[in-house]
Structure formats: structure tokens, C-alpha cells
Amino acid sequence: MGDQADWMSQLCPQLWDVPLHHLSIPGSHDTMTYCLNRKSRISRASSWLLHLLGRVVPFITGPVVMKWSVTQTLDVTQQLDAGVRYLDLRIAHAPEGSTRNLCFVHMMYTKALVEDTFTEIAEWLQSHPREVVILACRNFQGMTCELHDYLVGCIVNIFGDMLCPSGEVPTLRQLWAREQQVIVSYEDEATVSRYDQLWPAIPYWWGNAVKTDVLLRFLETMKGQGRPDGLFVAGINITENLCYILLHPVDSLEEMTRRSLPLMTEWVCAQQPGQSPHCTNIIAGDFVDADGFVSKVISLNRKLLSP
């Protein structure tokens, strides 16, 4: 998948003047869960039942929760090399963490720290100067106003002039001319209002469905209501619930996702980027290394080329 590490710069020049929200861009859902393990702590936002089971039978609960928390197997650099350009970053401050140790969360807290991950992304971008990433900072469990300011300070210090300030959605040619490579979408409105470097939260179409056909019907319904004005995400990720987990203890999110791939892939290949109301933009999925997902999303951009 490494041959897609520079797919943006390798697009047909005709597409360099298309705004990013009219392109087809692959994304990863819950990007950072690849670094969870059985000893990762269950997040304080998880259900009381999970916390109870974690205390009573931790040797069973930890491995089971991990199977349903992990949504990616590639690390962040591998995802970027594979062509992923939208990263879904659920940021948290763990209760026993030090004041500045912000991590990531999806039912469990990661050991990976936000500063280290941003540094890894910035180093990758320096090696790929014409690639652009969209960082969606979300969730913010346990975050105070001070911690938001600290986090934005990290973003500004690490990415610096790579940041594209909020405004009209740019084209690749405009970003290359300004040597900008990073759009940061930030889910906390109060913080966004204080910093020009932050973009408002990018809408994410989340179906919250266990069954693939239900999820795809939801996405089609959303398309029927018309696309948002700017960047937006169609999430082709199926979602378990606690009831499903307890009834299927030997199953896992990965197995569940891979079973759904034929229908998901068929839906992805039928999509059309562009500016019409029914068009898609960012398509984000779990286990992005599976079934040629990234290359299929990128290849949709060919539909924008004049015959």
C-alpha cells in the first residue's frame, strides 16, 4: 500500500484546482485504537456495567473490551503511507494521568500520547511535502479549558506554518502555494472561537448500526438530505453495543467488520465525489488495510475528470 503515500501529488493536474470538499478522501475511524492492549484502562465514560465487570473479572473483561475497542491494525504512519488523509482523533485526559499527558480513547485509554503522535504526523508530512491531512480532534473526555489551551498550543508548536487557518475550503494548488498541509477540525466550539488555526467540527455521518444494510440505508438517507457546505465524513463503520458484545463474547469488531466488507465495498465503489447534493467527500472506515478500501476511495476521483 506504500505506493499511495503520495497520491494527492500524483492526482491528475485537472484535480489540483478542485476544493478538498469536492474530492474523494479516505479516512480512518478511531484512528489511534491500534495501540490498545489488554492492560489498557477502561475509560470513565464507559458504562457502569463495564466498570463493574472490570473490577470483578478483569482477566476476562480487559481482553473482551479490547476486541471491541480496536478499530485499526495499522499505526498512524502506516495509515498515512497507505493513503489515509482524514484522521479521527478521540482525545482524552485520563483520570490518573499527569496534567499534560493527553492520550486517545475508545472505550479504553491508549498509552500513546497526543504530543508524540502529532510529532510523528508532522515528521511524515515533512517527508511528503505535497500531501495534506485533516486532523479531526474530537471527544475531549476529561478536558478543562486549560487543557484545551494546552492542546492547541501543542498543535501550533508542532505543525506551525503547516496549518491552514479556518476559511474557505482550499484546493491542493492553493495549499501547495502556501506550503500548508494540515487542516485541524476541533469539536469544542468555545476553543474554536479563540483560535484562527482551528476549523469547526467536520460533520460525521455515524449510523450507529450493528447491521450493514441498516448502516448503508442511513448513509443513503443522509445523502438524500443533501451534503453539508464544507468538508464532511460518511462513516462506513458498523457499531456494536454492550448488549451485542455480551451476547457475542467470542466475536470481535474486526471479524464483524470483515464480514460486512462485500456490501461496504459495493457501496463505496458506487459513490461520486463533486459538488452535487448527493456527492460524498471523506469516507472513513475501520480496518483501513482491508479489501483495498483506501485505493477504492481514492479511485473515485477519476469520476471527476472530463471525458
- Taking only the tens place, the pLDDT of each residue in 237-296 is 988 777 777 777 778 889 989 999 999 999 999 999 999 999 999 999 999 999 899 999
pLDDT over 50 (residue 227)? yes
281 close to 233: Cβ distance less than 8 angstroms: yes
Among residues 21, 22, 93, 106, the one annotated as catalytic is: 106
- Taking only the tens place, the pLDDT of each residue in 78-132 is 999 999 999 999 999 987 766 678 999 877 888 899 999 999 999 999 999 999 9
Number of structural domains in the chain: 1
Q: Which are the contacts of 287, defined by CB distance < 8 A and separation ≥ 6?
A: 71, 72, 73, 254, 257, 258, 293
225 close to 278: Cβ distance less than 8 angstroms: no
Give the residue numbers spanning the domain of 148.
Answer: 7-305
Identify whether 201 is part of a domain: yes
The phi and psi torsions of 23 (rounded to 5 degrees) equal -95, 165
- Taking only the tens place, the pLDDT of each residue in 5-28 is 999 999 999 999 999 999 999 999
Residue 298 CA, distance from chain mean position:
16
Identify whether 120 is part of a domain: yes
Identify whether 1 is part of a domain: no
Among residues 29, 51, 93, 128, the one annotated as catalytic is: 29
- Domain containing 45 — which CATH number? 3.20.20.190
Identify whether 175 is part of a domain: yes
- Taking only the tens place, the pLDDT of each residue in 40-63 is 666 665 554 554 555 554 555 656
The answer to whether 106 is a known catalytic residue is yes
The answer to whether 248 is a known catalytic residue is no
Q: Which are the contacts of 158, defined by CB distance < 8 A and separation ≥ 6?
A: 115, 118, 119, 122
